[in-house]
Amino acid sequence: MANWSDKDIDFLLDNHKKINIDELSRKLNRTKQSVYHKISRLDINQTKRWKVSDVQFLRENYMAMSYKEMSNKLNKSEKSLTIKCHRLNLIKWDRREKTLIGQTFGKLLVISLNCRKSRQAIYNCICNCGKESTVYHSNLFSGDTQSCGNCKNYKNGVRFSIPQQKICESVVGELNYKVNNIFIDIALIEDKVAIEYDEWYWHKNKHDKDCARVNRLLNQEWKVITIRAHQNLPDIQVLETAIKEAKLAKNKYWQIITLEGWGK
């Protein structure tokens, strides 16, 4: 096949957006494959390539502007914008769907829109326990979904044990109270008393780590009571005595209560 002449190239440059590939092939007396190849070599695709700046503009404005307005700004067809939004998972939400953000349904707080499936909005929600989940619009309104579904033994996103819960109820404390990046098992917040419940199964190989954790709490002026146990509970009077001593202590305070079963 003859080489491309300057006249052929000029014709291609002038008409590649005006007429389809079949017509170009016939006018130039070349195969469609040859025309496609030349368009690629000349970097003049019939659909204008998306620049990084165009994509950024789309991400920033797809909710605020209509397709027609964005089409004029980017010099692209509305069909091209629709396809690009779909590929980038940019969904133009209905105003009624957006108004749910910030609302609470049971234990779930709606924090943002996620996507749409089967013509139904899906929301990103955060549960009272601290875990995030995605929930369908209909499940929120019907009341079918009112929690993350896995928060029975979670508080502030961290799991707690049944003994921890019972101790917390007996001393009227706060479960999994966060101090910087440490979650205290049971915290008496006003008095800055931290009760750590260490079960042998989980802590038998964590002595150094547990000591470092306690030292960090002591350095932040928390009084620490560590209960070392094997799923059993301390005598309430012993625990109350330790709490009173901790409240009265003027210096760093760390008491260890070791129960039967620790080390077995």
Q: DSSP per residue over the chain, as a string?
A: -PPPPHHHHHHHHHHTTTS-HHHHHHHHT--HHHHHHHHHHHT--SSPPPPHHHHHHHHHHTTTS-HHHHHHHHT--HHHHHHHHHHTT-----HHHHTTTT-EETTEEEEEEEEEETTEEEEEEEETTS-EEEEEHHHHHHTS--S-S--TTEETTEE--HHHHHHHHHHT-EEEEEETTEEEEEEETTTTEEEEEEEHHHHTT-HHHHHHHHHHHHHTT-EEEEEEESS----HHHHHHHHHHHHH-SS--EEEEEPTTTT-
Residue environment code for 224-253, b if the CB has 16+ CB neighbours within 10 A, otherwise e: bbbbbbeeeebeeeebeebbeebeeeeeeb
Domain edges within the chain: 6-42, 52-87, 95-142, 154-258
- CA 72 from centre of chain: 35
Tell me, what's the pLDDT at 244? Answer: 93
The pLDDT assigned to 58 comes to 84
Quote the CA–CA distance of 5 and 7 in Å, as a whole number: 5
- pLDDT at 98 (0 to 100): 62
CATH fold of 154-258, please? Endonuclease; Chain A (3.40.960)
CB neighbour list of residue 19: distance below 8 Å, 6 or more residues apart: 27
Low-confidence ranges of the chain (pLDDT < 50): none
Please give the radius of gyration of the chain, using alpha carbons only, rounded to the nearest integer.
33
- What is the value of pTM for the model shown? 0.48
What's the pLDDT at 239?
93
pLDDT at 24: 83
User: Rounded distance, CA 114 to CA 120, Å?
Assistant: 11
